[in-house]
Amino acid sequence: MTPPKTPTHYIIYADDDRDDLDLMRECFEKHAQNVELLTFSNGFNAFTFLNSLSPTDPMPCLIILDINMPMMDGRDVVQRLRLRKNFEKIPIVLFTTSSQPQDKFFARQFSVGFMTKPLNYRQMDMIAESFIEYCSDDVRKEIRKKVEP
Amino acid sequence: MRLTEFEELAEYAMLDVIKDQGVYIGKLKSKGKISILYQVEGFYVELTYIKYRHSIKNIRCFDSVEKIDCYIKQVDLEFLNQPFQ
């Protein structure tokens, strides 16, 4: 998989749950524009892709990681990315099924966001908007989509 | 919070409790529906969806561990035996 060649923004999302991957695609289609969602089914594949980016490749505007994944979990991906200079400033969010204190502590330690997966439509509608808030001001302006009530 | 107290909550309040305190156990797919099981303190809450993580069909609460067997059996630990590639 290569980064998008067209001048657009892209977000990385790694999760081993296929239903959550589909859900996220639907969320971003509804609430965001000018942004492509690149999905990976485990942390290892997501990290391998990110690690292969050259200095001239466009960087993701946001990286979303499920915590519990096979091969390489979200925490491991965060620790490896934060060691790399070109990923120091990329916003990363841990997106998890449960609100565990130790995971929240880890997120604070590594300066990454922390969000729990939604349980119903009320919580789900806020998700894409909450993710967009992690992006830089310029990116937010370009990808935020107004949804008709 | 006790099971009886949880059962008296409105649905939106139940979901807030689960979001803040629930521990995800697993997911089941059956007859086109998806159910998710959470543990909340000393009991379990099963959410069955019409549309996954969107429209809830049913919320079932129980404290019997026997009823979570079908979720536990779904957990695949085989990957722990695989070498890191």
Query: Does B12 sit within 8 Å of A117, measured CB to CB?
Result: no
Query: Does A19 sit within 8 Å of B27, measured CB to CB?
Result: yes
pLDDT in tens, chain A (149 residues): 666 555 478 999 999 999 999 988 888 888 888 889 999 999 999 999 999 999 889 999 999 999 999 889 999 999 999 999 989 889 999 999 988 899 999 999 999 999 999 998 878 878 888 898 898 888 888 888 765 55
Q: A107 CA to chain B: closest CA distance, Å?
A: 16
Residue with tokens 């305190």: B21
Q: Which helix or strand (DSSP H or E) is residue A13 part of?
A: strand A9-14
* Chain A touched by B38 (CB under 8 Å): yes
* SS3 assignment, position A5: coil
- For residue A81, with 0-12 CB atoms within 10 Å meaning exposed, 13-18 middle and 19 or more buried, which class applies? buried
CA distances from B41 to A39, B18, B20, B35, B45 (A): 33, 10, 11, 19, 10
CA A147 distance to own-chain centroid = 21
Query: Does A71 sit within 8 Å of B79, measured CB to CB?
Result: yes
CA distance B28 to B38: 12
- Most B-contacting residue of A115, A119, A126, A127 (CB-CB within 10 A), to test interface: A119
Prediction ipTM score: 0.78
Query: Does B85 sit within 8 Å of A120, measured CB to CB?
Result: no
